[in-house]
A and B are shown apart, each in its own frame.
Chain A
Amino acid sequence: MTAPPANLTPTPPIPKVGGWDNFQRKYAPYIFISPFFLLFFVFGLFPIIFNAYLSVHEWQPGSGLGDMKFVGLRNFTDNLTDPTFWLSLKNTAILAVESGLPQHLIAIPLAFAINMGLKRAQSFITAIYFLPYITSVVAISVIFFTLFSWQYGVLNAALGSLHNIPVLGALFPADKINWLGERAFVQPSIAMVIVWRYVGWNMLLYLSGLQAIPGDLYEAAAVDGATRTEQFRFITLPLLRPTIFLAVTLSLIGGFQLFEEPYILTNGGGGVGQAGLTTIMYMFRTYNAYSDAGLAAAMAWLLFIVIGLLTLVNNRIFGRSGMSDSKAAK
């Protein structure tokens, strides 16, 4: 209570012993934060610089470091004239949209329904939707691999029996879909798994965003005679904007770094017609199978530029201050 605001500046009382006591107090914070910064310099910053250095060199990881040969921007131009690189970028973009958009279109109404509908079962329901997120991609992809099976898969069996329902049946395909075996379906299949995995995560973000909106706003609007749609349109959406910005940014950054799901669902190979080959997968292949570290490093930078540009665009659309405003609940 009596603590003066001056509390914030260095150490107030006890000059007592001086010497070691002061010394350790002065340097303690630096020592305490140093592990993070040391690790960051060694395993974070240094690799980035090394990556930049690599990207302008030709080098096979198998040979010694002395074999590095400066090639200027050739790795970049090689990538930019490589049709497979463009294909992988196109695949990544399509997958990011096909998996990103539905996530939000499903997650927002779900969060809305949970926030409005059930107060008591809320944490239980949230936990169920969240479950896929905490499970390993390998486990999930292996399970879906069997569910997607062409002749005997659960998914096709379910669609088949839905097709046999009298009137509504027409909505469902008559023939079995060769999910992972036909070019047109590889990307939608991968996208379905990603949607399944991340809907709960996004729902949670939106839920905390919704709960940060004060209830009195709705009450006041209701008193003024606003309909439910109007309330959603003029209260919920504008106040949810920072959360939308955050969630979209996260799925954008995540979407353009897709690796694990397509890698496992296409058995590491990229699938029919390489439709499931993402840029990170291609980069990994360039390094691992083709042993071309410089080319892979340049590819990483190109992807980094793409992600950066998209983040900027997203920033323009959904507005800045997102990050700080979205402090959201809890």
Chain B
Amino acid sequence: MADDDPLDQLLTKEAFEEAKAVNPLYFVDNGVELMRYLRREPPYTNEVEYPMPGLILLDLNMPKMDGRECLTEIQKDPRLRFLPIIVMTTSNREEEVLKSYQLGANSYIAKPVDFEKLVAQVKAFHAYWCSVVELPSGKQ
């Protein structure tokens, strides 16, 4: 998960626990870090410690490199293009939604203001992405 807000990271983690979602969560603080992680650049060289994700939860508004730029970068990189990306952000502005899909996001989720709803959301997309859908193993 790429999110610059530690409290959001915490909330997501809590929601994952509450939703009994067992898949491991890895956090990065901004787009630059995310790209480094995905490209195995230091400090993310260790494959065991930092495994290739099956799914990316991407916040749009982050310092250094925001979510839109990340989407563009990932789409440009043939080794990363397969990665499913779920945009999770505060804004529900139509322009943002449209832009994200145009840039190649697979889903767009507006973060709810309500923790209960967040938990429900995590449950739902966890059920979908981790049980219903086949994800690439990331071992290309």
Chains A and B come from one and the same complex: no
